Chains A and B, each alone.
Chain A
């Protein structure tokens, strides 16, 4: 018998196990009634959407700004150097 057959046999034995009985209904209803499990409030949702929207705009804007800066920094510096006598 190979290792996998042994694992399968072990699993078959394990399947016969009876899990401990639980009665969670009172606690579940208590948690739901107390509002502890409430999803986010409207205000919280608004802030999350706002933050997500701001990030969605800011990240591409920053990427564009960096590429523009990289593209234009060299020529700008050359212009500055060429007219440095006037400053």
Chain B
């Protein structure tokens, strides 16, 4: 790995910061997130060595954190090929923004924010291209009628159903609800993950919740 010449000299500069500006903003946020229990031990040295162009150090970081990032991005895409590509994008983008990481927050938190941004960007890009697909809430209706039905669902069935439900909402609404329900983030944590203000998170969460309520109350109908 050491024989590979890394383009480190090209990875600095003001424009680069502008291009990846969100990562900059996110890097400066500093406290722990209860929705991400990942340990940060051993990262500091590897981050420092990666900044100096050591590919082995960055490989160690990727290997240490890829499961955590994969878990986050599995909520954004359940297509395995897309999912893997998104995970790759996160680590490429993280490397390119590594000089903005201030080490005030654990590396895993910093990565979680980049992963959220990459996933959200994927949703937004897809929303622009996506044709409205007919969606049946029949499965939800069954569950809504029988309270115990949820408990009998396999974890992946529950995740798939929730994914399809939230997929009916615009990306912003979906993001805030995904962080709230699936990641268990509170307002402050959601604000950190998204880069939004707390007020914006609260307003967005309220609107998104209303839309989800309308959606599930329309269940039984074919949605387009």
The reply to whether the CB of A10 lies closer than 8 angstroms to some CB of chain B is yes
Which residues of A are interface residues toward B (Cβ below 8 A)? 1, 3-4, 6-11, 13-25, 27-29, 31-33, 35, 37-41, 45, 48-49
Interface string of B99-135 (1 = CB under 8 A from A): 0000000000000000000000000000000000000
Q: Could you tell me the distance in whole angstroms from the C-beta of B63 to the nearest C-beta in chain A? A: 5
Complex interface: stretch among B26-34, B41-49, B146-154, B189-197: B146-154
Binding site secondary structure of chain B:
helix
B-side contacts of A35, CB under 8 Å: 7, 10
In the assembled complex, the Cα of A48 lies from the Cα of B212 at a distance in Å of 42
Inter-chain contact A21/B67, CB cutoff 8 Å: yes
Q: Could you tell me the distance in whole angstroms from the C-beta of B127 to the nearest C-beta in chain A? A: 21
CB within 8 Å: A-B pair count: 131
- In the A-B complex, the 9 residue pairs with the smallest Cβ-Cβ separation, listed nearest first, are A13-B158, A19-B74, A14-B159, A11-B181, A16-B155, A17-B155, A33-B4, A25-B62, A14-B158
Which residues of B are interface residues toward A (Cβ below 8 A)? 1, 4-7, 10-11, 13, 15-16, 19-20, 55, 58-59, 62-63, 66-67, 70-71, 73-74, 80, 83-84, 87-88, 91-92, 95-96, 143-144, 147, 150-151, 153, 155-156, 158-159, 161-162, 165, 181-182, 184, 209, 212-213, 216-217
Q: Specify which of B7, B67, B217 lies most central, judged by the most chain A CB atoms within 10 Å of its CB.
A: B7
In the assembled complex, the Cα of A48 lies from the Cα of B223 at a distance in Å of 44
B-side contacts of A23, CB under 8 Å: 63, 66
Inter-chain contact B66/A24, CB cutoff 8 Å: yes
